[in-house]
Every structure is written in C-alpha cells, then in structure tokens.
Amino acid sequence: MPELPEAETIVRGLRRTIVGRRIRRAEVLKPDILREAKRSFGPKVRDRVIQGVDRRAKNVVIGLDDDAVIAVNLGMTGRLLPFDLPPRGGARPTHPAVRFRFVDGGVLVFDDVRRFGTVECLDATTWEARSAAMGPEPLADDFLPSDLHAALQRSRAPMRSWLLDQKKIAGVGNIYAAEALYLSGVHPLRAASTVEEAEAVKLHGAIRQVLSDAIAAGGTTIRDYRNADGEEGTFARALHVYGRDGEPCAACGDTVERVVLSNRSAFFCPTCQPT
C-alpha cells in the first residue's frame, strides 16, 4: 500500500506536469471508487484550474481554483498517471478508474487494479475538517520528540498498531513502521505507554530518517507502486526487516521474525528489538 513517501513522490511528480492546467471534464469509469455520487463529482471539477498539488498523510490533494480539492487516497494499488496526450497502445493504463481530461488535450488517469483507492471533490471547509481529524505530519518542523512521547503515554496499543493509526500519526504504514521500530530498537508488540522518553527521541528520529530516505529513493515498490512517471521506487533494496523474515539481521546476524498483528504481518529482529 502506498504510504507517505510514495504519496509524496507522486505529488512532486504531478506538480511538474498538471499545475495550471484546466480540467475539461472527468470521466468516471469505475463509480465505486468515488466517495460521492458520480452525478455530483463531474460538475464540481469541470472547467476548474489546478492551482497546486499537496499531500496530507497518504492522500494526494489536488487544489482547484475555487478552493475546493480533489482528494485521492491511493488505497493499495492506486496510481496517478499524467499524459500530455491521451495514452495509446502499451502506454495505456491497465485499470483506469477516472480520467481527468484537460482543455489542452492532456489527461490525468487514476489507475487502480484492486480499486481500494478513493477519489472525491471536497469544499475547503470539509477538507479542513477531514485534515484536522488526522494525526500530525511526522516530517513537519513542529512534530517534536516530546509530542510523540506524550501521545504514546496515552495508549496501551502495541507500537506497530499505534504507528498505523492515522489519527495518531499521519502517513506511516506497515513498511515504514517496521523499519522505524527496527532502527529505534522498539519491539512491534510493545505497549506504546511503556516507551520511555529517551526511546521516544530515538523513535522520532528513526521515523523521520526512514521516511526521508524513502522519499529520496522515490518510494518502495514491492509490486504495484509507480511514481507519476510510471517508474518504480528503489527503497526496497534498503529495507532492514520488512518482508525479510527468515533472513539474517544485517546488524547482529540473528534471524528476522514475523508476527501477525491485527491480520497484518509485523517484522522485527528479536535481538535488536527485545521485548
């Protein structure tokens, strides 16, 4: 599933290609991905100019000239692919769900194999309320180690579950939770409230490090993820524990293990991350 680094990589690519373009119309090919009625979505975006592209948590947020936004959650396999001309032949997206056709002839395609992603157009007030319900951005300057520690003290949830809760911290998913916990030496099953202040400082730094490194690598491609240019991310080769169960830990040589937590796998080194 695309997480913060993948969404950020896509946003940076889209800024180069779609800002300033006017949407002629939206063609909804798979209405089930809309979080609103198809008949209301089209008129909201028709003839609107794209003013900017941003990210909030794992969402791509396309700002329009009437202060509304097109909010896109990539789900598990969603991709946003811009083309200067409508794609043909082998370049054609395989599972298009929405096409935004521009006045100048270009097109932006939301392509989603499994169709767990969502698209909607929200007015500014509604989007602000939606954003306010999410947790802090972990790469923001005002996200401090003391804030992380204080929030952890209020929960008995396992650390991996806590990091995946988008109301606690925005944008972190299974891949980067596993890597941040490994780098900070915190076991994924440990209760959040047991993390001490010095450990929270280390975890804070690990979260920011792994997210920043993944952005620099263009994200992590395990299977489906592609950036706005259709290219794979390269951070998979730098993963320490995610998906590496049964392999030796690069730091200590012990075997990386996997446990299932809330129906999702968590990966850790039992020596580097003691319970």
Which residues are designated catalytic? 2-3, 58, 264
Q: Whole-angstrom Cα distance, residue 193 to residue 256?
A: 25
Ranges of beta strands (E only) in the chain are 23-28, 50-56, 59-64, 69-73, 78-83, 96-102, 107-112, 118-122, 257-261, 264-268
Cα 169 from Cα 147, distance rounded (Å): 11
CA 86 to chain centre: 27
User: Are the C-beta atoms of residues 78 and 112 closer than 8 Å to each other?
Assistant: yes
Number of helical H runs and strand E runs in the chain: 7, 10
Tokens read off for 51: 């003013």
Q: Is 129 exposed, middle or buried (0-12, 13-18, 19+ CB in 10 A)?
A: exposed
Q: How many Å apart are CA 262 and CA 57, to the nearest integer?
A: 21
Pairwise CA distance, residues 92 & 107, whole Å: 11
**Half-sphere exposure (CA, 13 Å, Cβ side) for 116?**
6
